Structure 1
Amino acid sequence: MKKFFDNFENYFMAGGLFIMTFITVINVMSRKFLGLSMSFLEEITTAMFILISLLGAAVAAKRGGHLGLSVLTDLIPKKFQKYVALLTWAAAAFFSFFLIKFGVVMVQSEIKMGMTTAALGWPEWIFGTFLPIGGMFIFVRFTLWTISFFISSKEVK
């Protein structure tokens, strides 16, 4: 069970990419052979792309794979790398805070105005929740990465 939760984003992204690929191929075939475009499939694909992009950022944070993490810390002496890690976490926390805050405001607005998607007619807030959810995943993964960075830097000494 621990392995599942450690790799939740990976499993979700793999499933989402499979779904996106499948429905995009269906839509392309429909356009090519039937002359029909199924716009509801494009709505789903776009929403899944947003969620997968945000989860991908969280996975990169979990692995320490963001460009600034390795480029900056590799150039700095070991004793100062913890400050860069802390600064990176602060920037990620700031960014995540705004993703979550404005994502929640957006969802509340969508609920209040009763907005629905153009093709599916689904409540817009369903897709809108992807923004604060993604922000939470990014925050959690950056926080866990920072904690593990500090723990590993203490073990090296």
Structure 2
Amino acid sequence: MKKLLDNIEEYIVASSLFIMTSIAFANVLSRKLFQASWSFTEEITANLFILASMLGAAIAAKRGSHLGLSILTDLFPKKYQKFVTLISTVAAVVFCIVLIKEGFVLAMQEKATGQLTPALGWPEWIFGTFVPVGGIFIMIRFIQFGIKAFKEEGVK
């Protein structure tokens, strides 16, 4: 169970990429063989791309792979570098809180107005929740990375 929770983003991203690839390939075959395109494939693919991007950012946060300017942290002695990492982690968490809040507001507006997706006619707020949910994953992973980095003697 711990392995599932530690890697849940990877599993969801892999599943999303598999679904996106499969339906895009099926749509190409449909166009070539039957001269008929499935309009819903673009809708699903675009929304799953948003989900995969958000969770990909969470994976990068977990691994400490987000772009950063090490030129600033490299100016400090090793023992102070972890405080710079702490400050950047706090800034990332604040950004995530704004992302979660604004994403939630947008999804609730979509629900309140009854917006539907053009091709499938599904409630738009379902896909709108990908942003705040992704923001929650990113925030959790930034916090985990920040705690881990702060406990280490020196930060890489």
TM-score by length of 2: 0.92
Q: Secondary structure at the match of 1:149?
A: helix
| 1:61 corresponding residue in structure 2 | 61
2:126 is the alignment partner of 1:126: yes
Moved more, 86-95 or 67-76: 67-76
* 1:8-157 to 2 correspondences below 5 Å: 8-68=8-68, 73-74=73-74, 76-153=76-153
Percent identity, aligned pairs only, is 57
Counterpart of 2:81 in structure 1: which amino acid? Q
RMSD of aligned alpha carbons: 1.8
Aligned mates of 1:47, 1:91 — CA distance in 2: 27
Letter in 2 for 1:89: T
Residues 69 and 88 of structure 1 are in contact (CA less than 8 Å); yes or no, is this contact kept in structure 2? no
- Per-residue deviation at 1:98? 1.5
Contact 1:69 1:85 in 2 (8 A): no
Q: Unpaired runs of 5+ in structure 1? A: none
> Does the 8 Å CA contact 2:86/2:150 hold for their aligned counterparts?
no
